[in-house]
Structure 1
């Protein structure tokens, strides 16, 4: 049949070319750990990325080779992404918050050849150099005055490099899971999967990214590609603001100075920011859209932002999903819902965008109905969902129909909204029924005087398991167990109430800010409840 459309492979560098051509003067502002501020724009990012691509080839990097970064959020890090991808390499973002053994394993498993790093991580780099067996060259993004580094490397190039073309299914980025159990596992993102998700993120129902947006990704660039924001914002032509300092005071000042309108991060970041704003009687100026992911957001947190006219998008995803899976975009009948119903909806993890399919199954593998009641193992499939882990000889981790088991337990509602009830390994099974540790924790955080809470299962001779609630008080708070139980009684079923509440000074977290339940389960494995006596 005569006719047809052009073959235009979905390659990541087309994103940067578009941003430079159509939105070239839109700024990228970076605040470094030492207080230095740099400014560039999308045209500058394209120019420097071409220089870096040429420099990498001069250093002997070949298509398919892995180039690692150990860095916070800043424009040079963005250049490292696009420059590496542009010459056919694979950019590998390493999480500096991991343990030394994990850091050594990740870089060696990836067979990284080059490492770009922030000066703040120089002691870590020096400590691990003897253990990194494949890295040939170490280049500092922000060296001390007078020392060579990233800028010297790219300044030697003309900036006329032509991007390497290829198949849209070629790999482009490598991200490792945080590895709370066993060795971290690598997830290899492709050009096509990355472009498709980035295009989806710009939609109004998701991140509301436009050329007018001023985006500050609080989620680190080493965590699941900063949720795709450096790619999606380039498509939209928005301004980007980066900070290597997550101090709430610094963040608030930066938001006000740069008129940040959009941001995204994990709940622990927002807890600190909220506490700072309340303590200083401050405000968040131009901020109008906040996306919260990485862990379930407490209802009280969502209310806090909404009371200030800020839209909250409660998102869910995982490294294996590039990472977006769902987002709390308003429903079609949003204006007909009262405030309580809207909040109920926002506390769930949201709707599925085009490009993702979800279902829940029971322990026998039977598909469960979307009735808002049946809770089961959450499975996903789609063009940006993992098929097989990097260099894993065990083969695909999907079933014959393409479904990937996320490890989460969830409910799907009739309107398509997904609600995470727990991680499969964190759910508390009491008397044959499930208790959601997430709902218990979020209800507890809504109690005045509670800064953070974690619910873990403890053995019980009659009920098999019962919940133990670990609570961190807010500074100066004198709240007791009876007050917390009274608060919880208004928010959860009576039989969900924890058998005991233990007050602790702090709770452990993973490298990405989630509660480290594995450590808590191990710590309280032999804890004997008074009700078990």
Structure 2
């Protein structure tokens, strides 16, 4: 067999030669921008040539602090295709964490959206490795800024070479990009993605029994491009020639619904909190989003009621998936098997609400207290993976030894696996509640609470208890129109009979908002900090 390197330039070449007329639609600060893959490829090569003139060499790290738009997509390919490393920076991290990851990665140049300039201005003196700043804007003038030296992206591109040639000797195992975890404790951890890993992961995204991305699709990645490469969809979409619809800066649920309807989006991807918001908009409007053939949902467990709402009320297939920064991210996808088509809707929903089956190309084991768990859907253990797009270490971080053991990634996620091979995530190790020596899954309780028509969001946390070690407390946000109209007992009764008595939360606290991480997951650490003295206070 021929040994041809699996590298990113082949993606770009395929898009510009086979799909030159296909569109990329980008929402920007000043309106909508449309162009073709032919034009996209030229601008991407222009950017690469400019970065070379600015001194970027093979192996250098270039950071991006940007929303999901066409210029960010150009950087996605311009940087790694020339042999440098794309470092997508999570703009929602704290100032301290942003400063840490820029310095830890050793970024040489930062490419920044104009509305995010203040974030970097406040720390410029603390970024010793950064040689230059490039500002992303619809205009070719530079906004007022203290950054120096600073350049306009559009002005630079006018000087770039649209015929810039990419090296043909890139090592498929060389770094293509990197992303840092959104740490809830300690500093974020860096994960390196190789050309080979992205190549094979992109191929997996095109499998019919995975995400099934194809040339016929219009893809809307709601998941940020600064978070695990928008789940790899920008890479796969360029390679397969899919039409892309990029939602731009700070998209709201209303904006997303309008984009889906106007641009006839076929596949949209985001975390459950995004789809909870979209569902609310759809319930209040007559928007036609029937073009959607699938919603991809990951990042955390989607409530069963949310899946049911989209599939049965709105008629849109809802595909549950699982992954993490360290898995590039797609590892599990919940697809029905052929013989499941005869099941009842409720039985199908039972399957769809699980995180799903292992995708082809990687391996998995679930380890309990005494080894591999039984395939009975009951015994819980930690998910472990290995494969061609699974990280093997954290970037220059001593914590690697805790997560990567004997060639396996230990995820810290606790789950079960049934006799059919479907995995169900029960909780993060740190979020399980240990009460009286027994484990309680907060995810199961949350999903059941969110099935109540009055509940918008629910997070269950464990609070220290003087007798039982920990006890669960439910934190609930009610939908508009239901506030002050639902009692605690009504919600607790929803759980009665579905769970063991000792699983039932000791209390329900009604909140205006549940704190979230930078990527939209519930920030349970913040809730635990707020309620740590709950039992002491309740005894007063």
TM-score by length of structure 2 reads 0.94
Is 1:96 the counterpart of 2:102 in the alignment? no
Instruction: Report the CA distance between 1:349 and its aligned residue.
Output: 0.2
Instruction: Report the CA distance between 1:57 and its aligned residue.
Output: 0.8
Q: Is the 8 A contact 2:20 2:38 kept in 1?
A: yes
Q: Distance in 1 between matches of 2:401 and 2:15?
A: 35
Instruction: Report the CA distance between 1:400 and its aligned residue.
Output: 5.7
Q: Is the 8 A contact 2:219 2:237 kept in 1?
A: yes
Q: Is the 8 A contact 1:444 1:487 kept in 2?
A: yes
Q: Is the 8 A contact 1:397 1:404 kept in 2?
A: no
3-state DSSP class of the match of 1:112?
A: coil
Q: Is the 8 A contact 2:173 2:194 kept in 1?
A: yes
Query: 1:69-80, aligned counterparts within 5 Å?
Result: 69-80=64-75
Q: Is the 8 A contact 2:290 2:316 kept in 1?
A: no
- Post-superposition CA distance 1:425-448 (Å, at most 9, x none): 100122222111011111111112
3-state DSSP class of the match of 2:347?
A: helix
Aligned residue in 2 for 1:84:
79
Q: Distance in 1 between matches of 2:153 and 2:470?
A: 54
Query: 1:9-408, aligned counterparts within 5 Å?
Result: 9-34=5-30, 36-142=31-137, 144=139, 146-147=141-142, 149-164=152-167, 165-244=169-248, 245-307=250-312, 308-363=314-369, 366-393=371-398, 401-408=406-413
Q: Is the 8 A contact 2:140 2:153 kept in 1?
A: no
Q: Is the 8 A contact 1:202 1:233 kept in 2?
A: no
Instruction: Report the CA distance between 1:125 and its aligned residue.
Output: 2.2
Distance 1:330 1:532, change over 3 A: farther
Distance 1:386 1:340, change over 3 A: same
Q: Distance in 1 between matches of 2:493 and 2:286?
A: 29
**Greater CA deviation, 149-158 or 178-187?**
149-158
Q: Is the 8 A contact 1:500 1:529 kept in 2?
A: no
**Greater CA deviation, 343-352 or 238-247?**
238-247
Distance 1:501 1:136, change over 3 A: same
Query: 1:417-436, aligned counterparts within 5 Å?
Result: 417-436=422-441
Is 1:508 the counterpart of 2:504 in the alignment? no
Instruction: Report the CA distance between 1:283 and its aligned residue.
Output: 3.4
Q: Distance in 1 between matches of 2:434 and 2:345?
A: 33
Gaps of 5+ in 1: none
Aligned residue in 1 for 2:532:
525
- Post-superposition CA distance 1:60-118 (Å, at most 9, x none): 01100000100000111011110001111000000110110001001011110111111
Instruction: Report the CA distance between 1:462 and its aligned residue.
Output: 3.7
Gaps of 5+ in 2: 143-150
3-state DSSP class of the match of 1:467?
A: strand
Q: Is the 8 A contact 1:206 1:313 kept in 2?
A: no
Q: How many residues align?
A: 527
Q: Is the 8 A contact 2:111 2:134 kept in 1?
A: yes
Which ranges of 4 or more aligned residues in structure 1 deviate by more than 6 Å? Answer: 529-533
Match of 1:451 among 451, 456, 460: 456
- Post-superposition CA distance 1:348-407 (Å, at most 9, x none): 10111112211111245x222222221011111111111111122565556564111101
Distance 1:237 1:280, change over 3 A: same
Q: Distance in 2 between matches of 1:437 and 1:207?
A: 28
Aligned residue in 1 for 2:146:
none
